[in-house]
């Protein structure tokens, strides 16, 4: 029997671990398992491996080594940045600015703080998903302590004008956090040049392991701890370090930032082949997100008259792994908050598909999707009362 084909196009949800990354991690599960906090010689290897990974993360961001703190992933880094800054700067003010299209790790953290006396402004975005810098400037008050705006959106791929936002924040004396979980490894980041004060990243979005990430905290930023306990991470983040995970993060960020342009050139070629094919073959389709300022591997399209959930199930039958809305909201029937924020009506937002490409995808994968997807969309449209009404209206 022929093995069922798998075409994985959900790299924005997570990636596989690169063999070189796994290889770097393996000794830290087995022979080099020492607790980095222990003082005997045997544990020094562990300590050194963590500091080596910290150097690699710092280098990738143009940060200083002592500005990098390891966490249990992207969500923890976001929670720490926002809650930590909010609590440590409470006397200065209680106002936070973010956007309507953030990841839930940011949005739900802000909502949590709203219930505890903080005020949050959720900035609009335009039809391409870009924040309005004038609206941002006007939202800043003398109570504003933090601006948290994501680097690149996980659903629609839109990249924000981060350097401009950083400049505004610095000029107004407000701290600037960016959730760069989708950006690291795909966009060149320089925290100094971009005036970024805090930055979140997660290894499993750039071919590293899951459950490990980092928060960059610029020297001098006032921030409370999120996880209390032992004195790890220079007393900022308690808990015995995820040693193999941190080693994997270091290796993965080193590989991912080595040749961003070469990696992107390949992804963009594949993405455009797929996108152009979809646009040619499937009528009543709209590209979501910015046409140019978008992540190289991201396609997000809305097909009128159908539901994304049924589309995903049918794609799955053909071995195609993709996503509708964000991975975190799948399972709920609410349309994506991001698609609503860019102004899509509910019924169109419901018919959306995200295909996120990665470094193992090939032209054959793209052509396979293009051979399957148009028929599936047509099958669903043929069953759709909305489509029937539309066809009647055409006559
Ligand atoms: C995946 C993701 C997160 C959450 O990261 P985890 O490591 O899964 O906790 C946060 N923000 C964005 C933009 C993401 O894509």
**How do residues 89-121 score in pLDDT, each as one tens digit?**
999 999 999 999 999 999 999 999 999 999 999
Domain boundary among 226, 258, 290: 258
pTM: 0.96
pLDDT band at residue 72, thresholds of 50, 70 and 90? Answer: very high
Q: Is the CB of 75 under 6 A from ligand 1?
A: yes
* From 321, 327, 328, 386, the catalytic residue: 328
Q: Check whether 160 is labelled as a binding-site residue.
A: no
Q: Is the CB of 354 under 6 A from ligand 1?
A: no
What's the pLDDT tens digit per position in 270-302? 999 999 999 999 999 999 999 999 999 999 999
**Do 113 and 240 have their domain in common?**
yes
Domain that holds residue 300: 259-392
Residue 328 has pLDDT above 50, yes or no: no
**Do 39 and 113 have their domain in common?**
yes
pLDDT band at residue 333, thresholds of 50, 70 and 90? Answer: low
Both structure tokens of 82? 């926002």
**Do 291 and 340 have their domain in common?**
yes
Q: Check whether 154 is labelled as a binding-site residue.
A: yes
Q: Is the CB of 15 under 6 A from ligand 1?
A: no
pLDDT, mean of residues 260-278: 97
Q: pLDDT above 90 covers what percent of the chain?
A: 94
Q: Residue 294 and residue 292: Cα distance in Å, rounded?
A: 6
**Do 327 and 349 have their domain in common?**
yes
Ligand 1 pocket mutation, candidates 80, 110, 205, 358, criterion most atoms within 8 A of CB: 205
pLDDT, mean of residues 237-256: 98
Cα dist from 111 to 37, 114, 115, 243, 338, whole Å: 36, 5, 7, 33, 16
Q: Check whether 323 is labelled as a binding-site residue.
A: no
Q: Which atom of ligand 1 is nearest to the CA of 204?
A: 7
The domain spanning residue 286 has which CATH number? 3.90.1150.10
Domain boundary among 258, 284, 305: 258
The domain spanning residue 105 has which CATH number? 3.40.640.10
The CA 381 to ligand 1 mean position distance, Å, reads 33
Phi, psi angle pair for 151, to nearest 5°: -70, -50
Nearest alpha carbon to residue 198 among 149, 139, 232: 149
What's the pLDDT tens digit per position in 139-190? 999 999 999 999 999 999 999 999 999 999 999 999 999 999 999 999 999 9
Q: Which atom of ligand 1 is nearest to the CA of 202?
A: 7
**Do 238 and 268 have their domain in common?**
no
The pLDDT of residue 262: 94
The CA 361 to ligand 1 mean position distance, Å, reads 22
**Do 247 and 296 have their domain in common?**
no
| 7 inside domain | no
pLDDT, mean of residues 255-260: 96
The pLDDT of residue 334: 80
Cα dist from 305 to 75, 240, 285, 310, whole Å: 34, 51, 10, 12
The pLDDT of residue 2: 52
Counting the structural domains of the chain, the total is 2
Q: Check whether 328 is labelled as a binding-site residue.
A: yes
**Do 305 and 250 have their domain in common?**
no
| 113 inside domain | yes
Domain boundary among 258, 284, 308: 258
| 11 inside domain | no
**Do 198 and 294 have their domain in common?**
no
Phi, psi angle pair for 17, to nearest 5°: -95, 130
110 is catalytic: no
């Amino acid at each position: 029997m022929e093995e069922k084909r798998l075409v994985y196009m959900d790299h924005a949800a997570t990636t596989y671990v690169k063999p070189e990354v796994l290889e770097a991690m393996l000794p830290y599960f087995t022979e080099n398992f020492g607790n980095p906090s222990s003082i005997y010689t045997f544990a020094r290897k562990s300590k050194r491996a963590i500091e080596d990974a910290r150097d690699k993360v710092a280098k990738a961001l143009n940060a200083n080594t002592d500005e990098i703190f390891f966490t249990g992933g992207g969500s923890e880094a976001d929670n720490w940045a926002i809650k930590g800054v909010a609590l440590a700067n409470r006397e200065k003010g209680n106002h936070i600015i973010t956007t309507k299209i953030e990841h839930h790790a940011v949005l739900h953290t802000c909502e949590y703080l709203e219930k505890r006396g903080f005020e949050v402004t959720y900035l609009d975005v335009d039809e391409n998903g870009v924040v309005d810098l004038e609206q941002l400037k006007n939202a800043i008050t003398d109570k504003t302590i933090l601006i948290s705006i994501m680097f690149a959106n996980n659903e629609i791929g839109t990249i924000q004008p981060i350097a401009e936002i950083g400049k505004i924040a610095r000029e107004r004396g407000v701290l600037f956090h960016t959730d760069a979980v989708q950006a690291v490894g795909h966009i060149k980041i320089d925290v100094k040049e971009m005036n970024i004060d805090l930055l979140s990243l997660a290894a499993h979005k750039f071919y590293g392991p899951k459950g490990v990430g980092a928060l960059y905290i610029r020297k001098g930023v006032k921030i409370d701890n999120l996880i209390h306990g032992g004195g790890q991470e220079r007393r900022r983040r308690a808990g015995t370090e995820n040693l193999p995970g941190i080693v994997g993060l270091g290796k993965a960020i080193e590989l991912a930032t080595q040749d961003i342009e070469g990696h992107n050139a390949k992804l963009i070629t594949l993405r455009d082949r797929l996108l152009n094919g979809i646009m040619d073959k499937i009528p009543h389709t709209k590209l979501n997100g910015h046409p140019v300022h978008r992540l190289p591997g991201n396609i997000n399209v809305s097909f009128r008259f159908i539901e994304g959930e049924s589309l995903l199930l049918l794609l799955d039958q053909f071995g195609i792994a993709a996503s509708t809305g964000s991975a975190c909201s799948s399972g709920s029937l609410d349309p994506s908050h991001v698609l609503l924020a860019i102004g899509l009506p509910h019924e169109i937002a419901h018919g959306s598909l995200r295909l996120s490409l990665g470094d193992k995808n090939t032209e054959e994968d793209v052509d396979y999707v293009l051979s399957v997807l148009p028929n599936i969309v047509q099958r669903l449209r043929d069953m759709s009362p909305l489509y029937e009404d539309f066809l009647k209206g055409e006559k």
